[in-house]
Amino acid sequence: MYHSLLQEAKLYEFLQHIDAELAARTRACGCQVCAGRLDRADYPRKPRGALARLGVEYERRLSFCCAARDCRTRATPPSVRYLGRKVYLGVVVLLVSVMRHGPSPWSASRLRELFGVSAKTLARWRAFWQELFPASRFWLAAQGRFARPVAPAELPASLMARFAGDAMARVCAVLHFLAPITSGSTGHAG
């Protein structure tokens, strides 16, 4: 199910649309330091792992810089496309982690074949979900939002199970939920 979702171009288009909305909100707020105007200051990304063809907009991480000469503070909005500084797309980190340790686990060799993810990278992602994320300030504050507790040992699958809708809706909801940890201003994106 998730493997086929990762091949859907409309998923990546929708994530791009959400990121554009998050960026527009960040820009509208202005500089958090001096209240100055924010100018575009995107930076290049070379995202890995997509099974669908990505548009050129995926080669840039949306970001801003204060226009005031004496400030120049960077403001990078939250993202549903990128999970912090990880080089793989956030949706790939999320879904490959679910596929690797979900109800019917995929082998590391099969995931490596499909996504180019090494065993070491899979181990780092597992450590992120099992150790870093549950200990983050973001998760410690946010976990209380769920009526039924999320099982830390089963992250990220247990988190995805708390969201409603079809597979695409749940994936987008989880990525939107995780967006605050992607800008470096809260939590830990690893």
Confidence bin at 2 (pLDDT 50/70/90): confident
Query: Measured between alpha carbons, how far is 154 from 137 in angstroms, rounded to an integer?
Result: 19
pLDDT value, residue 101: 82
75: left (phi over 0), alpha (psi -120 to 50) or beta: beta
Mean pLDDT across the stretch 142-169? 94
What proportion of the chain, given as a percentage, has pLDDT over 70?
95
For the entire predicted model, the pTM comes to 0.90
Write the pLDDT tens digit of every residue in 96-116: 999 988 767 888 889 888 888
Tokens of 8: 């859907």
Contact by Cβ (8 Å): 16, 81: yes
Strand order in the sheet with 38-40: 38-40, 64-66, 74-75
At residue 184 the predicted structure's pLDDT band, cuts being 50, 70 and 90, is low
Contacts of 40 (CB under 8 A, 6+ apart): 62, 63, 64
> What is the rounded average pLDDT for all residues in the chain?
91
Q: What percent of the chain has pLDDT over 90?
A: 75
Q: Which of 151, 157, 83, 159 is nearest to 121 (CA)?
A: 83
